[in-house]
Homo-oligomer: A and B are copies of this chain.
Amino acid sequence: MISKNQIKQITALHKAKGRKKAGLFIVEGPKAVDEFLNSSFEIEAVYGTREWIEFAPQILDSAEMISEKELQSISIQKHPNQVLALVKTPPPSTPPTQINDLCLVLDTIQDPGNMGTIIRIADWFGIKHIVCSKETADIYNPKVVQSTMGSISRVQVSYTNLIDWLGKIDGAVPVYGALLSGDNIYETKLSSKGLVVIGNESKGISEDVAFFISQGIKIPAYGNSDTESLNAAVATGIVLGEFRRIMPI
């Protein structure tokens, strides 16, 4: 049984403001919850339906049994999936001041699914740091958490004023940016050290950030398509794949 007050406290975590205040975030679904139970993250509470509790991978003193209807009342999903956990937010990361390898920079990725997928890609390609504009989707947004598939515990993601931060880095390493006006990435000299900037899903890289780009790159289109662009996460995958193809680590 879940109280009205609990519902209020949990649904407050659907929003960034509520997560910040409580120092907690939501993880949903058996697979993701299981991953967090087996990670270094600290679990605050677990709410599962009978179906989940009976087949739970671990015996949890802290797990509370709730009905489907109660789960619906706290879930962010239209069709919740058996279990919802509250996890403690670790202290925020700070952006690196020295760049010794490839570092991904996100200039306001807004879609939580894209954000999660990008963290997973970075993990795959051995990227250790992602530096984000303050307007980029919160990594503790439940939909981001869902899409990272556990990578969230291995990649450092920090939020900062990109202009100030880029100003400090400026000139030390090449700054690559995915731009429609960029050079064909397959014909561009790529370095093993530097920043790779990915812009917003519809607006691309903002003018102030573009100022710091030393090499624009683009993935050439091959269709006679009217497709505006590739999905931001797919573009990130292709770009990082090309960096690693040329210079495996």
Residues of A within 8 A of B (CB): 76-78, 113, 117, 120-121, 123-127, 147, 149-151, 154, 186, 219-228, 230-231, 233-238, 241-242, 244-245, 248-249
User: Are B125 and A222 in touch, CB under 8 angstroms?
Assistant: yes
Residue of A113, A127, A222 with most chain B CB atoms under a 10 A cut-off:
A222
Nearest-Cβ distance from residue A2 to partner chain B, whole angstroms: 20
Nearest-Cβ distance from residue A240 to partner chain B, whole angstroms: 9
User: Are A149 and B233 in touch, CB under 8 angstroms?
Assistant: no
Nearest-Cβ distance from residue A50 to partner chain B, whole angstroms: 24
Residues of the B chain whose Cβ atoms lie less than 8 Å from the Cβ of A221 = 124-126
Beyond A126-B225, A230-B120, whether A186 also contacts B238 by CB under 8 A is no
Closest to A237 in B: B234
Complex Cα distance, B234 from A142, in Å, reads 21
Question: Of the candidates B76, B236, B244, which one forms a contact with A222 in the assembled complex, judged by CB atoms under 8 Å apart?
Answer: B244
Extra inter-chain contacts (18) besides given A154-B226, A238-B241, CB under 8 Å = A77-B78, A117-B234, A120-B231, A120-B234, A121-B234, A123-B225, A123-B227, A124-B219, A124-B227, A126-B221, A150-B227, A151-B227, A220-B248, A222-B248, A231-B233, A231-B237, A234-B236, A237-B237
Complex Cα distance, B221 from A127, in Å, reads 11
Beyond A222-B244, A233-B234, A234-B233, whether A227 also contacts B113 by CB under 8 A is no
Complex Cα distance, B237 from A147, in Å, reads 17
Residues of the B chain whose Cβ atoms lie less than 8 Å from the Cβ of A245 = 186, 242
Residues of the B chain whose Cβ atoms lie less than 8 Å from the Cβ of A123 = 223, 225, 227
Residues of the B chain whose Cβ atoms lie less than 8 Å from the Cβ of A222 = 124-126, 244, 248-249
Residues of the B chain whose Cβ atoms lie less than 8 Å from the Cβ of A227 = 120, 123-124, 149-151, 154
Residues of the B chain whose Cβ atoms lie less than 8 Å from the Cβ of A223 = 123-127, 154
Complex Cα distance, B234 from A25, in Å, reads 26
Closest to A224 in B: B126
Residues of the B chain whose Cβ atoms lie less than 8 Å from the Cβ of A235 = 237
Residues of the B chain whose Cβ atoms lie less than 8 Å from the Cβ of A234 = 117, 120-121, 233-234, 236-237
Closest to A247 in B: B222
Closest 4 CB pairs of A and B: A126-B223, A234-B237, A126-B222, A238-B241
Complex Cα distance, B230 from A126, in Å, reads 13
Residues of the B chain whose Cβ atoms lie less than 8 Å from the Cβ of A220 = 244, 248
